[in-house]
Amino acid sequence: MTLVVLDTSFLLPFLGIRVRGVDGRVLKRIEELATKRGGGPRLCYHELMLPELAAKAFSTSLREGLEAVPEEAIEGFLSIVSGMFIEVLATTREDLNVAYALRLVGHKDFFDCIAYAAAKTRRGRLLTLDRSLRESVEEAGLDTSVLMSQREFLALR
């Protein structure tokens, strides 16, 4: 079974936040896999990325001038944190070492480094839209096969 670490862009829509570039078919497939236990890829999100998810929900609510974070966002966040929607990965020593190695070669986004490390250390894939991450990994001569496009994700069975 393939392990797929989801980048934050693919979870924000489940908090009611639209993300440009995310294919609706990918979201539908994520929802199908998340509600169907067994069979298909194992969907995951790293625990150290949860603050990024919450921060984006807050910043979106503030930008829209809302008095509070919408209930849909809170419910979506809590379902992710609980592990009921997808698996939340615990931090390992290897995650931290690989993430730091990526940071050392110049990639500045901590959460990207953690997502890449989570997939790499578990022999999985990272579903991401992030071009700068791909460029950093390529320029550093690191393993680009960890990175997965939406087209590749849709082809998984």
Return d(Cα 17, Cα 3) in angstroms, integer: 25
Mean pLDDT of 65-74: 93
Domain ranges of the chain: 3-155
Residue range 102-145, pLDDT digits in tens: 999 999 999 999 999 999 999 999 999 999 999 999 999 999 99
What's the whole-model pTM score?
0.94
What would the mean pLDDT of 9-18 be, rounded to a whole number?
A: 94
Please report the pLDDT score of residue 138 as a whole number: 94
Amino acid 38: pLDDT: 61
Burial class (CB in 10 A: 0-12, 13-18, 19+), 97: exposed
Distance CA 142, CA 129 (A): 18
pLDDT of residue 83 exceeding 80: yes
Query: Amino acid letter at 9?
Result: S
What's the pLDDT tens digit per position in 22-54? 999 999 999 998 887 667 899 999 999 999 999
CATH superfamily of the 3-155 domain: 5'-nuclease (3.40.50.1010)
Tell me if 80 sits within 8 A of 62, measured CB to CB.
Answer: no
